[in-house]
């Protein structure tokens, strides 16, 4: 059994880095705060005797050799956060991995296969799109050069920021050899809590579509310009936001849609905006419905631009099909959780995760624990200690199982 208090202490300690005055943390990918976090976790890895390596995308791996060589059983997640994030999103999976290692160290146990605890760069994607960039590059799903050239919401380039925080490793990317991957993560949604269940055995991740839209119109005077003569880029952005809600409601089912970022220019009370940029995040477990949502959005935008006399530029920031996890791996999570006496349900993931990228190269699944009030990407994000501990014990059990 893992040591719950030790896990909590590491979560608390990592939560100090980038801590926000009102609670929660800000460790945007490749920021100074992220660098502090990377350093602390690497320090812990070394203290636990893990062989630490870093790849060219800044992904970090702590290897615990097995009795036999060969591809490791891997776990891990990420330590970057959104701008106003909580203490558990990502970090739980990484620190529970370390807790598994420390538990085995204390028991003097060596597994047959090697074990590996990883943290992947820029999982959140909110500074640099796409999300899961580190694990995507790791599995060969995106060229390293393309990732390095990506510009963030602050205009900075991934390559420059990685350099600045010392995240440019030696190890090659693109052809990993992993026996199996399992990731522990908070659910970030309300399903487990509403069902009163402790463990989620994650069957699949829903499809993700991120689009950045830039509208260009003509700035003009808010008082003197008749409505018929306006080419109002801001109005186009807001009409798109209203449409996203209408579209998502009409499609129904699992469909969700969010306009999370929006900026107007020149952004003044009495000037009709000449430029507006916004992001649209659409998700569905059903890829056909997701594609339909994207198509309808595109049609709406084109008609809107035509009607309003403005230009529109559409840039895809991320597009991932729904990812099914390996059924045997899902079964394994379910049976390990049951064997430990925890209530468990099979469920999809609403969020994107590094596990969905690892699923391209090895049998993969995830372990979810409940989020209080279903809140995440919020400084109030919280999971009960008992649930954190339960999740870490299921992770230990699944890894032991896989490493035989």
Ligand X SMILES: NC(=O)NCCC(=O)O
Q: How far is the CB of 160 from ligand X (least distance, A)?
A: 23
Query: 98 CB contacts (<8 Å, ≥6 apart)?
Result: 10, 41, 44, 45, 48, 62, 117
- Residue 34, marked binder: no
Q: How far is the CB of 158 from a copy of itself (least distance, A)?
A: 16
**C-alpha pair distances (Å), 190 with each of 106, 187, 381:** 36, 8, 12
Partner in contact with 123, chosen from ligand X, a copy of itself, none, beta carbon below 5 to 8 Å by kind: ligand X
- Residue 342, marked binder: no
238-245: long-range contacts (C-beta < 8 A, 24 or more apart)? 239/304, 240/213, 240/278, 240/280, 240/297, 240/300, 240/301, 240/304, 241/278, 243/297, 243/300, 244/280, 244/282, 244/297
> Which x/- pattern, by CB under 6 A, does the window 205-234 give for ligand X?
----------------x-x-----------
Q: How far is the CB of 342 from a copy of itself (least distance, A)?
A: 21
Q: Is 308 in the site for ligand X (CB under 6 A)?
A: no
Q: Is 353 in the site for ligand X (CB under 6 A)?
A: yes
Partner in contact with 158, chosen from ligand X, a copy of itself, none, beta carbon below 5 to 8 Å by kind: none
Q: Which residues pair with 214 in a beta bridge?
A: 277, 313
What residues between 124 and 183 interact with a copy of itself by CB under 8 A? 124-126, 129, 131, 153
Q: Could you say which of 351, 358, 398, 402 contacts ligand X (CB under 6 A)?
A: 351
Angle of helix 4-15 relative to helix 91-107, nearest 10 degrees, comes to 140
Nearest to 346 by CA among 204, 207, 202: 202
- The residue range among 10-18, 36-44, 119-127, 302-310 that interacts with ligand X, by the rule CB under 6 A, is 119-127
Q: How far is the CB of 275 from a copy of itself (least distance, A)?
A: 10
Q: Is 187 in the site for ligand X (CB under 6 A)?
A: no
Q: Is 291 in the site for a copy of itself (CB under 8 A)?
A: no
Partner in contact with 322, chosen from a copy of itself, ligand X, none, beta carbon below 5 to 8 Å by kind: none
Helical H runs in 213-286?
Answer: 233-251
Q: How far is the CB of 288 from a copy of itself (least distance, A)?
A: 18
Alpha carbon distance 208, 255 (integer Å):
11
Alpha carbon distance 220, 214 (integer Å):
18
Q: Is 193 in the site for a copy of itself (CB under 8 A)?
A: no
């Amino acid at each position: 059994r893992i040591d719950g208090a030790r896990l909590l202490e590491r979560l608390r300690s990592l939560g100090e880095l980038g801590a926000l005055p009102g609670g929660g943390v800000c460790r945007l990918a490749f920021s100074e705060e992220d660098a502090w976090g990377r350093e602390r976790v690497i320090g812990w890895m070394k203290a636990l005797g893990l062989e630490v390596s870093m790849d060219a995308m800044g992904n970090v791996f702590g290897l615990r050799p097995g009795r036999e060589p060969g591809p490791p059983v891997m776990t891990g997640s990420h330590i970057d956060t959104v701008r106003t994030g909580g203490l558990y999103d990502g970090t739980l999976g990484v620190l529970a991995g370390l807790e598994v290692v420390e538990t085995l160290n204390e028991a003097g146990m060596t597994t047959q296969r090697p074990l590996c605890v990883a943290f992947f760069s820029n999982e959140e994607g909110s500074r640099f799109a796409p999300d899961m960039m580190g694990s995507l590059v790791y599995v060969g799903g995106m060229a390293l050069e393309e990732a390095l050239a990506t510009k963030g919401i602050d205009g900075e380039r991934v390559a420059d920021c990685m350099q600045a925080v010392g995240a440019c490793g030696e190890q090659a990317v693109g052809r990993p050899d992993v026996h199996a991957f399992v990731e522990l993560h908070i659910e970030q949604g309300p399903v487990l809590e509403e069902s009163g269940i402790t463990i989620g055995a994650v069957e699949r991740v829903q499809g993700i579509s991120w689009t950045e839209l830039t509208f260009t119109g003509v700035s003009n005077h808010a008082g003197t310009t008749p409505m018929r003569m306006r080419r109002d880029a801001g109005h186009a952005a807001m009409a798109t936001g209203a449409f996203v809600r209408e579209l998502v409601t009409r499609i129904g089912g699992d469909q969700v849609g969010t306009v999370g970022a929006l900026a107007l220019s020149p952004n003044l009370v009495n000037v009709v905006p000449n430029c507006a940029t916004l992001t649209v995040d659409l998700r569905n477990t059903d890829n056909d419905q997701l594609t339909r949502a994207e198509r309808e959005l595109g049609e709406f935008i084109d008609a809107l631009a035509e009607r309003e006399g403005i230009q529109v530029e559409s840039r895809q920031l991320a597009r991932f099909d729904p990812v099914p996890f390996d059924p045997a791996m899902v079964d394994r999570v379910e049976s390990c959780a049951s064997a430990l006496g925890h209530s468990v349900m099979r469920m999809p993931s609403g969020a994107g995760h590094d596990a969905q990228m690892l699923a391209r190269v090895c049998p993969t699944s995830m372990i979810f624990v409940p989020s209080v009030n279903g809140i995440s990407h919020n400084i109030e994000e919280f999971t009960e200690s008992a649930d954190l501990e339960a999740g870490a014990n299921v992770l230990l059990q699944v890894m032991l199982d896989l490493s035989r």
